[in-house]
Amino acid sequence: MNIHYIQHVPYEGLGHIETWAAAHGHHLTGTCFFDESWRLPELAAIDALIILGGPMSVFDETPYTWLVEEKEFIKAAIERGTKILGICLGAQLLANVLGAAVKPAPNKEIGWFPVVATDEAKALPWFYELFSDGPKVFHWHADKFEIPYGAVNLASSEANKNQAFAIGNQVLALQFHVETLLADVEHLLENARTDVVPGNYVQDEAALLGDPAHTGSRRLSDDLLTCFFR
């Protein structure tokens, strides 16, 4: 497939997605909004879209004027039937475009914490199977989304109940990260260390880098990406 990704900041990149795409023979192209020469593709030229994370809010259209054009592009991709995976900010942008509220979460989540599939996730059997046992995944967010009308609420965590949603087999939104590798955590710390303040669901730096959950993230990432994009 021709998979296009949208990247918002240099330090929140593809992670394991790049390795997975190469292993499966998919072609990756990208729009990097931090690059002054950014451009969005023609939708007819791509088979699927991945929207990555970022530190900004979905409502920060004044400092990040490209958000307006990005939302229009996402809406057009949904209407066209393009396969879309949104991660963290990408998931919040999908919720916003689909008319659901995005607002501060009751708990900031930074670290490796479990997410568990909901009963509703049985409508997407492969997702339910992957998350029914509550695998640890990586979180770095302070906002949350409500579930859009017509979407299936797929997963929850102890800190925040809305962690993922899907619309059929076309749209998948993840508040958490499955693509994050240890090097990606290091890059986040280098660029956003001030986010790591004490909290019930905020790990300290040693735990962020030393939690053994990161060793299993590649397998979970492989399985999720393969199931969703098959």
Homologous superfamily (CATH) for 2-229:
Class I glutamine amidotransferase (GATase) domain (3.40.50.880)
Q: Tell me, yes or no, if 32 is annotated catalytic.
A: no
> Residue 165: what residue type?
F
DSSP secondary structure, 20-65, as one string? HHHHTT-EEEEEETTSTT--PPPGGG-SEEEE---SS-TT-TTT-T
* Average pLDDT of the segment spanning 6-23: 97
Model confidence at 200: pLDDT above 90: yes
Q: Tell me, yes or no, if 227 is annotated catalytic.
A: no
State the pLDDT confidence band at 19, using cuts at 50, 70 and 90.
Answer: very high
Note the pLDDT of residue 212.
86
- Note the pLDDT tens digit of each residue in 111-131: 999 999 999 999 999 999 999
- Note the pLDDT tens digit of each residue in 33-70: 999 999 999 999 999 999 999 999 999 999 999 999 99
Q: Active-site residue among 8, 179, 187, 214?
A: 179
Would you list the domain boundaries of the chain?
2-229
Note the pLDDT of residue 14.
98
pTM: 0.97
The tokens describing 201, both together, are 């669901």
Note the pLDDT of residue 144.
96
Q: Active-site residue among 88, 139, 141, 187?
A: 88
State the pLDDT confidence band at 217, using cuts at 50, 70 and 90.
Answer: confident
Note the pLDDT of residue 216.
84
54, 10 Cβ separation under 8 angstroms:
no
184, 93 Cβ separation under 8 angstroms:
no
Q: What is the 3-state secondary structure (H, E, C) of 70-118?
A: HHHHHHHHHHHCCEEEEECHHHHHHHHHCCCCEEEEEEEEEEEEECEEC
The tokens describing 104, both together, are 């501060």
Note the pLDDT of residue 215.
83
Mean pLDDT over all residues of the chain? 97
Q: Tell me, yes or no, if 88 is annotated catalytic.
A: yes
- Note the pLDDT tens digit of each residue in 124-156: 999 999 999 999 999 999 999 999 999 999 999
The tokens describing 149, both together, are 């009308």
